[in-house]
Amino acid sequence: MSIVEIYRFRAPLPAAARPADAPEGDPGHDGILFVRQAAGGRDEEAMRRAFAQCGIEQPEVFANGTLDAAVLERPANRDWVATYEQALRDGASVVQYAAPQAPWQGR
């Protein structure tokens, strides 16, 4: 049975998503990577493959955890269902925020 591990990270936007007029030295954008894995916990190889599949380069991963699919039934979490289902189907999916973020302070 597959599970989905989520990884919080910061990285420059992928080239395909970067605006043409973006300034040099992208400070990084927060994101969440969903990865289908055989077991829960941090899996460096699966994570590396998933980042490459999603076009994310030079990620700084600062947290991870196994997603309990039951939380997706809550109304506040319904927006994440498609991302979760894509990870189960394709092996990985990513959400990366467009606005650059200040250095992570343990949110």
Question: Nearest Cα to 101, choosing from 5, 17, 9?
Answer: 9
The dihedral region occupied by 91, where left means phi > 0, alpha psi between -120 and 50, and beta the remainder, is left
- Boundaries of every domain in the chain: 3-96
Q: Is 15 helix (H, G, I), strand (E, B) or coil?
A: helix
Lookup: tokens for 77: 């979490």
Helical ranges in the chain per DSSP H: 44-53, 81-90
Q: How far apart are CA 27 and CA 44, in angstroms?
A: 24
Taking only the tens of pLDDT, the chain with its 107 residues reads 689 999 999 988 776 666 666 666 666 788 999 999 999 999 999 999 999 999 898 899 999 999 999 999 999 999 999 999 999 999 999 998 876 655 544 44
